[in-house]
Amino acid sequence: MLVVGPSGCGKSSLLRAGLLPLMADEPGWWALSPMLPGTDPFTALARELGAGFKAVGSPTTVADVRRRLHGDGLAALADEVLHAAPGPRRHRLL
């Protein structure tokens, strides 16, 4: 699940005010840290997914994640990191 919207609409506030902790405790969900897209949202996404891979013991470079996003797509990378996530089987990524 991606939370998107125009700058200043409250996305980060919504996530930090309770959605992230709530969803992280839900069975089947794994939540990554919120990212700031900045001037290069694609790289910011690749960096955050890379941190997710590192957290599950599968470190990779931002360049590799960027390449794989272009080739395999976001859904494939999300599935891969979810399969390696700690704890009970996770099916959804926030």
Write the single-letter amino acid at 22. L
Alpha-carbon gap, residue 25 to 50, rounded angstroms: 22
d(CA 50, CA 28): 20
Helix or strand run (H / E) with residue 92: strand 92-93
pLDDT at 69: 93
| Separation of alpha carbons 72 and 66, rounded Å | 10
Q: What confidence score (pLDDT) does residue 82 get?
A: 87
- The residue ranges of the chain whose pLDDT is under 50 are none
What pLDDT, on the 0 to 100 scale, is given for residue 5?
83
Instruction: List, for residues 58-68, the tens digit of each pLDDT value.
Output: 888 999 999 99
DSSP codes of every residue in 70-85: HHT-HHHHHHHHHHH-
- Look up residue 51 and give its two tokens: 């941190």
